[in-house]
Structure 1
Amino acid sequence: MTSSHIDRIRTDIAHNARVWNYWLGGKDNYSVDRAVGDQVTSLYPSIGEVARADRAFLGRAVRYLAGEAGVRQFLDIGTGLPTADNTHEVAQRVAPEARVVYVDNDPIVLTHARALLTGSRKGVTEYVDADAHDPERILRAVGRTLDLDRPVAVMMLGILNFVLDTDTARSIVRTLMGAVPPGSHLVLTHPTLEPALGGAGNAEAMAFWNANATPPITARSRGEFASFLDGLEVLEPGIVSCSRWRFEAGPEVAQFGAVARKP
């Protein structure tokens, strides 16, 4: 790790990647992350279920894409800290030759990049230090590893909620999906306040987060989430709680999930 990465690590304020790691039962977090994570849980007790459901959705989506859909290239933006069943592990279990590029700009994640770079012998697993707000930079960087003339699964799980302006978030998605060919897929999850999914209690927790942690977060409605999928073929079962995407058991969580194909 370079000195610039060390300088970027803040241990005096909670950070999303580390708090999410804490909720998932990981050890790559600090006391400030645990304190904020516990307070958010007290305000919104189902947040741990959301974290686990999001991770389980990732596994189901990647297994489908690498298996039935035949996708062999994955671009995972905002990957966070490594836990069990990371994208490359799931994809290369199904298709050992799969190529996976992770993108994140969190210095803590950078310190664990080596743990991510252990793919199958036949496949490729790489890591790019870049910000989701700069899709052009991401595309330039991943072009060294992925063939952008062949289908790519673009994965943005719990990342567009950190892009506070919805028009900007839509532009990021359009830029990324505009650079990949037909047969590519977009995989999204995003928190919501919609009462039908139990999101009403999330507002106070998000306000606390934005006052005490980084980066700030926003929730979006079903309509706003759907706008990210404009021009794409949304696969069955459509826009649902991520806990219910191709899985019937368990409670719904206030986190939309969807997988869409570029026609």
Structure 2
Amino acid sequence: MCKRNKIVLLICVSWFLSSGIYGDEATENTSTDNDLTEYVLPQITVIGDTSMGSLERDVIEAQELKFKVFNNLNSTRDFDIECRWRELQNSRIKKWVCEVGYLREARYDAIRDWIEKGIPIPSDGALLVQYADKGRALNREMNALATQYPEMALAIVNAHELEELYKEEVVKRYKDSIFVGDPPKSNLRLNKIDIWEAAFQDHKKGLMSDEAWARWDRMYRKIFKLPSYQNMWTSVNHKKYSGEFVAYVNTIVAGK
């Protein structure tokens, strides 16, 4: 994948490591292709007065799918991520928390040391700093998987699109609230076609194996059977893409 897209994916992965995400058990290792097709494929739009609750549920589903795909593809249970609702301390308010395996184990060890030896339990922030090397290794692995497996890249992009849409809706609906503030000056937007062309160019340059490219080709041939994706392709500026890539996509849209 091109350098820009690698940076984009790294930013997405880095977000959950800096947002209070700690470890839990893995989901079982099963194929994710059907799950991805069912959820990632529809184009994301807000029609009329879509409730924030509904949009929040879409974000949560997208995050769950992203981490499920990653759990199925990664190399170690230490990197497995699971999300759940958790009550805040001394409160009945629940917060959506996504947890990664190695930090959960570290927290359990710290609790055991406190019980047996009286050693104070480090804060979540201190654990993040202590295990920063593992966090960086997780980032590298997710980005490597995203360049090889389109389901990983699409799940990351889909979750990012929904997260950005949710933030935009919050600002738009509650712009006068002191708790929301002004919208960000710029947003890094991911694009499903951009990452597809990056994979196309990597394969052309010999940076991606034929086996990996076959997965990308198969996935996109599947999703471009949907009218919403065909409409998306006809609405974008084709001049931003290489002529070879445009010709390749046009044959798929034409059903060849």
Whether these two folds match at TM > 0.5 is no
TM-score normalised by structure 1 residue count: 0.24
Is the radius of gyration larger for structure 1 or structure 2? 2
TM-score normalised by structure 2 residue count: 0.24
Structure with more strand by fraction: 1
